[in-house]
């Protein structure tokens, strides 16, 4: 997985009790666009993300 600042990190839900989550990548801390990513969630909360197999990156502007 590779991302750059401004891309969106999308975490898909695999259960009815949880929803798909999206965050903006605000910093890439891995080498050559690799995780971890500092992300900002829709509620304004920022966290360090280590995306799993249920996540993908949507390029900025898509």
41 neighbors 47 (Cβ within 8 angstroms): yes
pTM of the model: 0.87
pLDDT digits (tens, 9 = 90+) for 3-30: 999 999 999 977 667 788 999 999 999 9
Tell me what pLDDT residue 9 has. 98
């Amino acid at each position: 997985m590779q991302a750059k600042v401004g891309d969106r990190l999308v975490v898909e839900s695999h259960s009815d009790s949880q929803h798909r989550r999206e965050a903006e990548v605000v910093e890439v801390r891995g080498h050559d666009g690799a995780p971890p990513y500092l992300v900002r969630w829709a509620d304004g909360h920022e966290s360090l993300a280590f995306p799993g197999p249920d996540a993908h990156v949507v390029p900025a502007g898509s």
